[in-house]
Each structure stands twice: as structure tokens, then as C-alpha cells.
Structure 1
Amino acid sequence: MTPPTATTVRPSHDSTKAAPAGRAPAPTLDAERLPLAQYLVLYVYVLFPIVAIIAAVPLAWGSFIGWVDIALGVVFYFVGLLGITVGFHRHFTHGSFKAKMPLRVALGIAGSMAIQGPLLQWVADHRRHHAYSDRDGDPHSPWRYGTSAGALAKGLFWAHVGWIFDRERTNKERFAPDLIKNTALNRVSRLFGLWALLSLFLPAIIGGLVTWSWMGAVTAFFWAGLVRLFLLQHVTWSINSICHAVGERPFSSRDMSANYWPLAILSAGESWHNLHHADPTAARHGVMRGQIDMSARLIWVFEKLGWAHNVKWPSPERVKAKLADAPA
């Protein structure tokens, strides 16, 4: 699908829909200054896998990779991914379902292993995103700089990864006060560095023990650690960038959120993004025929096991009412 341009970005089916802001939002009470030490650590966590892969993939590909590396990579990919999609996003940010405390802690740890920031900060950022989606105040809108081709290219980079390096961080006390009050979740968030280290080095430990060799540990660290993390981060970051720029918009929302089917499997259903912004608390995002949503299926399993309850499944009537061409 052709990306939206200055002539096509407009409130096509909702007169209250926000058009692209066209300028960077000024700092407000919504944001706070990130300490320099945390800022530098952030650089290391994000850039290290990228640099390592650029340097090593051409040498490593085809010369050392085994089934243990692939299996560990797939397992750790989906642990981190579903920790983000089911835990950080649908449960902690939007309250799509309620969960028993052991499951809440497990989801918090699993999401932290995607290394996309501590639990409290991630939730605060995403709630702020929904409060100002594609308007001034949105921390990662691709329409931040305008609607021309050059502005959109710059905005896509910002929405995908650039915003992460902005030292103005979302105010957690304002956007995540409910989680701050929870002692267990506060501890999970503060221990983000530990979960990040486990995410990187646990595959190496398991790979070394399974193969009983140092080479098995090295290859597992590379493929199931660095490469897996690189892929996971950029797939989930694509929801911020690609899914607010291109794709289909069958549902009425107040922003430029769109469905982008090529990312549906790799994002565990998060790329059915238009329905999510039309109905943010819905536990299922892929509601139309053929829309695979693994995150919703996992929530269904949790519900059947009695670990989750009060799940906000979107009814057919509610989905129909959210359609762009639904009668007012």
C-alpha cells in the first residue's frame, strides 16, 4: 500500500481524528529528564546487538549455527515477545484482563527480557502514546515532523528507534501510578538490568550445557542472544513506526493507526493495530477473518486455566460498531 502523503493524511472517516502534528512536541509535565547514567546504559543495550550483528553475521552465517541455536532463539524470541504483547501491553498498560499475582510477575519478567525498558517506564510511555496518539505529546509518532516525503522518512526513523534516545522520558508518576503502588511489580521494574542480562546470557548457558562445549555456548549467545534480540526489538518497534504510516484502516480511530499483515505472526498479533487504537482495552486485536492473533490465544489459555479473569473480549456487535463505515 502506498504510504500516506500530505494530500491523503486527513480525517477520512472521523471528523475528530487527529491529523499529523507536523512539529515536535515541547516538553511538558508529561515528561521527565532521564539521568545520564541510565541514558548511557540505554545506548549500550540498544546499540550493542546492532553493532555485533553488523560485524559478525557475514562471518558467522553458514559457518556455525545448529539446531540448538535455532530452537533456543525461537523459544527466547516468543518468551520476550509474548511478555511484551500479553504482559506489558494488553495487561499492564490497557487492563485487557486481570491476572493472579504470580502470572503478573511472570509476565513482567518475560516482557523485561525483550530489553525494551523497565516495566513501569514502558507502560508510562505507551499510555502517553495513546493519550496523544499522532498529536503533539505522542512520544513516537512517525508524523512528528510533517507529511512530506522527507519529513515522513525522518519521522519513521524517530518513531522506530530515535525516540528511545530522547532523554525526556515519560513521567511514570503521572501515567503509571497504579503500578508504582504495587511492591512486587516495582521490584520487577527495578531489576530490569538483571532480566536483561539473563535474556542475553541464559541462551549461552543452556546452549553450552546442551552441547557440553564452549562453542555451543558461543553460538547460542550469538544466534539465540544477539540475533534473536535484534529481530525481536525491531519487530516490536515497527508497530510504532510502520503501523502508524502504512496499512489498512477498516476501523474508526482518532489517529493514523493501521493494520499491517506482514508483521502479524512475528508480532504475535500486535500489527492488527487499527482495531487496537479503535478499542484499546480489547484483549483481541485480530478480530476479522484470517487475522491470526497469538497473544489473544495465550490470554484465552490463561483464562481457561483460571490464571486470568475479567477478560475484555470484543463482542461482534462492538467490533461492528467500530468499523469506519458503521452508521453514526
Structure 2
Amino acid sequence: MTEMVVIRAFLIIPFVALIVAVPVFWGWGVSWLDLAVAAAFYTVSTLGITIGYHRYFTHGAFRANRPLRIALAIAGSMAAQGPVLGWVADHRRHHAFSDRAGDPHSPWLFGTSPVALAKGFWHAHMGWLFGRDRTNVDRFAPDLAADADIRAVDRLFPLWVSLSVLLPALIGGLATLSWWGALTGFLWAGLARVSFQHHVTWSVNSICHMIGDRPFASRDRSANFWPLAILSMGESWHNSHHADPTCARHGVRRGQIDVSARVIWAFERLGWAWQVRWPTEQRLARLAVKSTASTAPSKGSS
């Protein structure tokens, strides 16, 4: 219960802060320092989600040493999207039932009429987070639940979220030697940044299951949506991901920017990660051959 209160508080509070901060402070309350600190925290915590929570913990796209494993879990927690165990369990369940009954956040669960799609978009984007449907961690993430390091990071989720919004305030205050710098750092690089980050991630659940390109075979309506590629650090190449979930690179075609994959490559070069599941031409060719059939919704997906 406490965990859900914390999660919902950090869904609502940053969003309200963003709505209030933009008209009140824009043009005179935000500084280049705020934007720089926001960009730094956005990058680290988003990569914690994309590389850590998603590609590593959920799908096992590579192996990692213990320090990197713990660091990725903490960085992902600082995105304030939920503790690592629950996030991974939800996402594994999403792949098990993608766009069918049982998927926690499919936009296609209510039908294909305009009203049903509007309801589905809201549900997939953020409505599902306020429901009572909880994913069983012991069923979908027993490997992580048995890991003492990950359990410890999971238990300390409120601490990581607090640091994520308070450290920007501390940096802003120390850098400007003023309470005003601390306030704007807290609002912009803290709360507003977290809210913006939430909506980028949620857009992968909603937009990337509704519109975009579908060049590869998958069991669902996942799509590649290029406008989100940079902000999502490569996660919006979603059809490619659903076609080959354990692949460490989602932007598999030439010109498809995938920042997360480049960082994983750097980890591999440093010796911090190994057994990385990179895409192969043979695998991509097999998936692309079936792409015409994959554009239609699978049975039960609408």
C-alpha cells in the first residue's frame, strides 16, 4: 500500500508542477543551469529505464557485472516510474499478453471505435497506473525477487525518487548561492523533468502501439515511431523490439538512432557488460519476410 501511495504521488505531483511551472515561471524563472541539470538527470535516469529496467532486467539482452547491475537499478528508480521489481514484472506481463486480454497497458483492449480508441489511449498512456490490477512479481520476476541486491534497491525506491528531485535543488542552490536557484532547480530539473520523462515513456506504451511503421513480424500492434527516438533513447523503435525482444539494439536499421544501444556498446567495450545480444542480418531477414502479415491485429487484439 505504501509503495502504491509513493508511486501515485510521483505520478500526480510532477504533472501538476509542470502545469503550474510553465505559465508561472517560463521566460524568467528557468535558467540555463536548470536546463543543463534537467538534461543530465533526464539522461541518466532514462538510460536507467531503457538499458537497466528494460533491456537488461526485463529481457536479459546482456550480462552485467555487479556494480553496473546495481547502478542501473538505482538509475532506473530515479525516473520515478516504480520500483524495479514491479516495473519488470509489469513489462514481462505486457510481452506475454501484448495487445490481448492480460496486457496491463494495451490501447486495443476496448475496441476500435473512436470512443474505444480514446479510452484505450488514456488507459495505455497512464490510466492503467491508477487501477487495482497488480502484476504478480513472484510469477513474472522470480529471478529478480531472489536477488538480494535488487531487493535492497527495490525497498529503497522512495529514497532514490527523493534524491532524483532534491539533488537538482541542491545543485541549483549551491551553484547560484540562492534559495531561488534551489527552488527553480527543484521545479524544473526535479519535478517538471520527471513529469516530462513519464510522458515520453508512457508514449511508448500508447502511441507506439497505435501508429507508426511495422516492418517486422510481431504478435501485436507494436510500431516504430521515429519522432520519439531521441527522447526515448531508442525505445520508440517498438515494432523492432517486439519482433525480437531480447535484442540489445532496437533501432536495427540504418539511420535509426538508438542511444541506449550505443551506451550498451560502450559498456561492452569497457568490460562491464558481455554476452550482448546484437542483431544479425539473418535474424532481421527472417523477421522482415513476414512483415506484411504482421500489420494486421492478432486475434483478440482489438
Query: Smaller-chain TM-score range?
Result: over 0.9
Partners of 1:39 and 1:165 within 8 A in 2: no
C-alpha separation in 1, matches of 2:231 and 2:18: 20
Partner of 2:63: 98
What does 1:1-328 correspond to in 2, within 5 Å? 35=1, 37-325=2-290
Does the 8 Å CA contact 2:74/2:153 hold for their aligned counterparts? Answer: yes
Q: Deviations over 1:251-293 (max 9, x none)?
A: 0000000000000000000000001000000000001111000
Q: Secondary structure of the residue that 1:147 maps to in structure 2?
A: coil
State the AA in 2 paired with 1:282.
C
Deviation at 1:176, TM superposition (A): 0.3
Distance in structure 1 (CA, Å) of the matches to 2:291 and 2:125: 32
Partner Cα separation in structure 2 for residue 275 and residue 154 of structure 1? 26
Aligned-CA RMSD value: 1.3
What letter is aligned with 1:141? S
Per the TM alignment, residue 63 of structure 1 is displaced from its structure 2 partner at its CA by 1.5
Give me the whole-angstrom Cα distance separating, in 2, the residues matched to 1:139 and 1:234. 17
1:150-182 Cα deviation digits (max 9, x unpaired): 101100000000001112210000000000111
Give the whole-Å Cα distance in 2 for the aligned partners of 1:265 and 1:55. 26
Deviation at 1:95, TM superposition (A): 0.1
Tell me the secondary structure at the aligned position of residue 259 of structure 1. Answer: coil
Report if the CA contact (8 A) 1:72-1:203 is conserved: yes
Gaps of 5+ in 2: 294-302
Letter in 2 for 1:145: F
Secondary structure of the 1:292 match is coil
Q: How many pairs does the alignment contain?
A: 293
Percent of aligned pairs with the same amino acid: 61
Deviation at 1:244, TM superposition (A): 0.3
TM-score, normalising length: structure 1: 0.87
8 Å Cα contact 2:247-2:278 kept in structure 1:
yes
Q: Deviation digits for residues 11-55 of structure 1, max 9, x if unmatched?
A: xxxxxxxxxxxxxxxxxxxxxxxx3x4333332110011112222
Task: Give CA deviations for 1:112-159 in whole Å, capped at 9, x if unaligned.
Answer: 000000000000000000000000000000001111111011000000
Q: What is the aligned partner in structure 2 of residue 16 from structure 1?
A: none
| Residue type at the aligned position of 2:69 | R
Deviation at 1:56, TM superposition (A): 2.7
Secondary structure of 2:134's aligned partner? strand
Specify which structure has the higher proportion of helix: 2
- The secondary structure found in structure 1 opposite 2:171 is helix
Cα distance in 1 for partners of 2:104, 2:292 equals: 33
Any conservation in 1 of the 2:214–2:291 contact (CA below 8 Å)?
Answer: no
